[in-house]
Amino acid sequence: MPNLIELPDNKLQPAYAKTLLPNVIYRFPEHKLCEPRHRGIAEAEGLILKLRAPTREGSRQRLAVSIHEAAHKLAMQKLGIATSYAGQSIHHCCETDRFLTVFGAVAANERVMQALSAEQLAAVSVAGHVAERVFLGEAPAETWEPDYEDFLSSGKDGLRRSQLILVWKLAEETMLDELRADIPWQQKIVHEAARFEAQIFGFDRSVNAAV
Ligand SMILES: [Zn+2]
């Protein structure tokens, strides 16, 4: 299975390149890619292996990721935004010098996203964890914090951080009430989540079938 590394292969030490996880985008500066593996990368890979594992915990996590991303996608679709799904990736964040593990994502055109108002971006951003709360009863902080931080740092409509927090809270409460009452929309999310799961985690089944 191909790796989706976003660096030329020759930047990797051979020992490292042979042990990359399949179907993971590795995106970080060259000097982090030496042997022995940086502890942050090894930890991120451990989290991805747990997510992909044929265990109860693994399948629960895959379900949560699928529901979360499907809800983001449908919220974007409502605004007429075209999207595509992406799978797991490991990024290096230069500002904090930390490694970020992404379990799944919805990609959209950056310029289209920049054109959204604060309310529209809030509706898209809260959709993921709101759906998790409605379907699974909870949304752990690590699933909503990245969306929250991205939204607050967007500087949308020239609003200050404290004002954006209010916009976020309002969008969250409104969507929570609406989704709880809207059974057809819940069904749409369930169907979309199944599509996400097949597209992003489907290779797990093919791996298992081949063993
Ligand atoms: Zn999200």
pLDDT tens sequence across 149-202: 999 999 999 999 999 999 999 999 999 999 999 999 999 999 999 999 999 998
* 68 Cα–ligand 1 center, Å: 6
Is the peptide bond prior to 36 cis by the omega test (within 30 degrees of 0)?
yes
Q: Are 146 and 171 in contact (CB under 8 A)?
A: no
* 12 Cα–ligand 1 center, Å: 31
CA–CA gap between residue 39 and residue 81 (Å, rounded): 38
206 in a structural domain: no
CA–CA gap between residue 145 and residue 81 (Å, rounded): 23
* pLDDT reported for residue 21: 87
The two beta strands, 83-86 and 105-108, are antiparallel
91 in a structural domain: yes
Name the 3-class secondary structure at 27: strand
* pLDDT reported for residue 28: 74
126 in a structural domain: yes
* pLDDT reported for residue 157: 94
* 30 Cα–ligand 1 center, Å: 28
Q: Which domain holds residue 106?
A: 9-199
208 in a structural domain: no
1 in a structural domain: no
